[in-house]
């Protein structure tokens, strides 16, 4: 009986740790807007502005009237690189209001000749996801992907999920969490360290965070991403996307 009692205590502790809820409303603000301007070191002749990304958060409701948060991202590329890339993008992520996990993820790559779409809807109770990726001239049926996870995030909500993590050490590794990206579900970890960088000709303290060796290429397909967070707010002051064809790397600096 004593062994059974001890097992019950251990099981309760471990399961509550593994599936402890993170309250989304504590880390996302209604109406928050982050605006980034892009530059590419390899294309410095084009100047600092080769495009912009605007990310907004707002309280919303699903069709089911369930309270949630919606994150929207708008990518606009400048005419300066229209000969290299001719597209923009609209991305959105819907998160539960009181539990940091995504419910709906959509992406629209707005190319000049052929737009591409992606959509995922998660049902955590049924432990599955309805997923499809297609071009504008295609008609396809969603596929069902088993999802035996209690929580998952997507590449867009990851920017805000970083706010929930303990990054208090000088350097370290984040806990493992589950990422959905382009039809794949992967457990990932991130490495971080506290350092300083020069932004707008000033030295500023940051938390430099990047994918662990096992995670590389999982957040952005075939590319790596690095973020430099403000230590107080954990808002990215600088985002680097590496390994982009022709451009090489894209640097996104927070403007407002």
Q: What is the 3-state secondary structure (H, E, C) of 5-16?
A: HHHHHHHHHHHH
Higher pLDDT, 183 or 203: 203
Nearest to 252 by CA among 241, 56, 55, 200: 241
Q: What is the mean pLDDT of residues 47-69?
A: 84
Question: Is pLDDT larger for residue 234 or for residue 221?
Answer: 234
Lowest mean pLDDT among 12-16, 23-27, 110-114, 233-237: 12-16
- Domain positions in the chain are 22-254
Residue 151's pLDDT is 92
Report the share of the chain in percent with pLDDT over 70. 79
Beta-bridge partner residues of 54: 35, 74
Element (H, E) at 157: helix 155-161
For the cut 90, the answer to whether the pLDDT of residue 103 exceeds it is: yes
Name the helix (H) or strand (E) containing 87. Answer: strand 87-96
Percent of the chain with pLDDT over 90: 48
- Per-residue confidence at 167, pLDDT binned at 50, 70, 90? very high
Q: For residue 128, how many other CB atoms are within 10 A of its CB?
A: 15
What does the pLDDT read at residue 3?
Answer: 43
Picking from 129, 102, 106, 137, the residue whose alpha carbon sits closest to that of residue 24 is 102
Mean pLDDT of 45-59: 81
Mean pLDDT of 78-101: 80
What DSSP designation does 168 have?
-
Prediction pTM value: 0.83
251 vs 72 pLDDT, higher one: 72
Decide: 146 and 60 in contact? Cβ < 8 Å: no
Give, rounded to a whole angstrom, the gap between the first and last alpha carbons of the chain: 61
Amino acid 202: pLDDT: 93
101 Cα distance to chain centroid: 11
């Amino acid at each position: 009986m004593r062994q059974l009692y001890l097992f019950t205590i251990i099981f309760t502790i471990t399961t509550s740790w593994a599936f402890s809820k993170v309250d989304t409303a504590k880390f996302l603000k209604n109406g928050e807007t982050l605006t980034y301007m892009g530059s590419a070191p390899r294309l410095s002749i084009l100047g600092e502005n080769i495009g912009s990304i605007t990310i907004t958060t707002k309280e919303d409701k699903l069709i089911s009237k369930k309270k949630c948060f919606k994150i929207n991202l708008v990518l606009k590329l400048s005419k300066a690189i229209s000969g290299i890339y001719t597209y923009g993008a609209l991305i959105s992520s819907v998160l539960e209001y009181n539990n940091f996990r995504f419910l709906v993820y959509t992406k629209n790559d707005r190319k000049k000749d052929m737009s591409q779409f992606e959509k995922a809807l998660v049902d955590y109770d049924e432990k599955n996801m309805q997923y499809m990726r297609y071009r504008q001239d295609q008609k396809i049926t969603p596929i069902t992907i088993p999802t035996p996870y209690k929580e998952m995030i997507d590449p867009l909500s990851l920017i805000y999920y970083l706010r929930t993590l303990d990054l208090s050490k000088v350097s370290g590794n984040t806990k493992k969490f589950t990422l959905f990206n382009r039809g794949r579900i992967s457990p990932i970890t991130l490495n971080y360290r506290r350092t300083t960088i020069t932004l707008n000709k000033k030295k500023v303290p940051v938390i430099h965070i990047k994918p662990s060796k096992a995670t590389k290429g999982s957040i952005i397909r075939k590319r790596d991403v690095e973020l430099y967070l403000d230590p107080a707010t954990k808002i990215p002051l600088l985002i680097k996307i590496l390994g982009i064809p022709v451009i090489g790397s894209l640097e996104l600096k927070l403007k407002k």
